[in-house]
A and B are shown apart, each in its own frame.
Chain A
Amino acid sequence: MKNQTTIIEANKAISGYWTELNQYRDLLFFLAWRDFKIRYKQTAVGAAWAFIRPLFTMIVLTILFGKVAKLPTEGSAPYAIMVFAGLLPWYFFSSSLQDCSMSLVNKSAMVSKLYFPRILIPISPLFVNTIDFLIAGSIFTLLMLFYQYMPSHRIVFLPLFFILLALVVLGLGLWVSALNVKYRDFRFIVPFAIQLGLFVSPIGFSSSIIPEEWRLIYSINPLVGIVDGFRWCLLNENQSLYWPAIYSSILWPIVLLSTGVVFFRKAERQFADII
């Protein structure tokens, strides 16, 4: 018999938060696995959605920016490949953030009737979206075969940029999911912000077209450095990284995640009462 003692007091966080989180690590696995099982249930084409969306967005963006607006690609890479390399992180970002932001509210019954570390709820959507990311990645491979385009050996650094991306999403997700419990306005803010984000981030175009004097300000957007990083890893061109953007992409996850955890822990005690 384990002899653990829990002391519940008003206005005081329960000690041993991280030990407890560790005890519940299997739950994180099950939550992620359940999201995965549920995600494409009762859809006609199932997991195909994971590549239909980026594929068609890629086609539209390639026609719009590449053919109509005639924007330059990265070096000599086909425009479609350049766009898809940006869509990979973008789709992960937008769908995970969307899922995270609604995660607590969608599980309101669980939040108000069951106890477990609440922080697992906004974390778990990252896993199912990682699987979608991998599916989209396989489409990217097919696309490269189609264009007979060889990726750069720098692809080995891709996981680093993916981790930065995941941490940005998680940091934002903690904030937004907790705020969404009290202010359902975020149900409208998040999709809207994501819609705008597609155009202010270098997804349909290369960030090299941004005029030099604006580039520093443009790099405030953490996705700029991450998307640049993805293209740097995947496209076999002579591009070099714009370091201020990378610094920004490293700084943002640290700030978002640390403040996000603090805010979430403060807010979570009231979740059951206000959700």
Chain B
Amino acid sequence: MSTVVEKPAPTPAPVPAPAAQSVSVRPSLRIPIILGVLALVALAVFGFGAKSGVDSTFGLSLRADAVQLSPLVVASRPTAIVLGVLCVAIAAFAFWQAVKHRRTPAWLLAVFGVLWVFAFLVWAVAGKATSLVDLLQGSLLLAVPLAFGAFGGVLCERAGVVNIAIEGQLLVGAFAAAVVASVTGNVYAGLLAAPVAGWLLGLLLALFTVKYAVNQIIVGVVLNVLAVGLTSFLFSAVLKPNAATLNTPPLMKPIGIPLLEKIPLLGPVLFDQTVIVYAMYVAVVVLTVLLFRTRWGLRVRAVGEHPEAADTVGIDVNRTRWRNVLAGSATAGFGGAFLTIGYVGQFGQEMSGGRGYIALAAMILGRWTPIGSLGAALLFGFATKLASALSVLGTPVPSQFMLMLPYVLTIFAVAGFVGRVRAPAASGVPYLKG
């Protein structure tokens, strides 16, 4: 039946038994070794490789902020060396923990990541200045469509349907939001239209994958082509000649949250944003609770992991899949609205530009959880923002390599170098009762 896609599930058969045993007896040194290599890079390249006698300057406030902080100025070489030494210390600690058969706590890994990135930044910005607030805010904004796309992917895949069509859903969402917001003159009408457009594409996805049991990846790929074709066609034929009435949407205005927006550094970054960004905060919490703390979530996950078992206990597998595909597609479509009315304004041909595929990667790197997806989306957003910031500064690493980072990380993640990721077991397999 589904000859096209082989399961990504771990295959225990080819692994010889003795090797498997020795792995469980010997301490797993994979994470400490990775940390160690990274730490040495930080110390040798960023620390000792930094220009001596110059400063790295980080702006901490935007010009419009109420509270102005003076920029952070650090001596490049000593700071990078100190950060590198700290990284080495954490790596050594992780190594010691591993020898003692203890896991390195996750928060320590996060600290390592932050220190490492700062070492990199200090090295890259040596002798120059960059705005930290701008960097963080830019990362957050770039992450928004990725996060919604990834949430949409999580909803579908947890129910056992691969959603490659995220790209198309973002695109039709962006298109619908721009057109409806232009016609009505109301951004919130546009914001409502986006999920409807995503939902419509989801209708096709569900029809072909759930009802007609066509290979899910094929349908996803083709729906992306369809979305590009439809929006580009309508853009050239209708939107371009009538740009003034159909493609000049109002932009969403940031709404500051009282008190919270006054927090130095983080306030303006996190709490002076548009409704879509706040919706992202809400969505990650709601989805996490729904998927992992409610009966509905348990059923959805059962359908995604073992549809036969779910069917046996009376869950309607295909109805669950229909609902989740529609909900997930609408979520991704909602995220598409950000591309137009939340960020750029006008709709442009193929403006999703591969973000849907990055969202897919974020979902995988986030291990099919909403929180993880958000984290990965932020990471990808940060890499993209950093690449553009560094290309302006003209720093040693070509910006193209920075832009590669999310993709390389994802490859490492699915290959099991950065912890093992496992898809819902029935993801990609049509369920035919009988």
Pairing of A with B? no
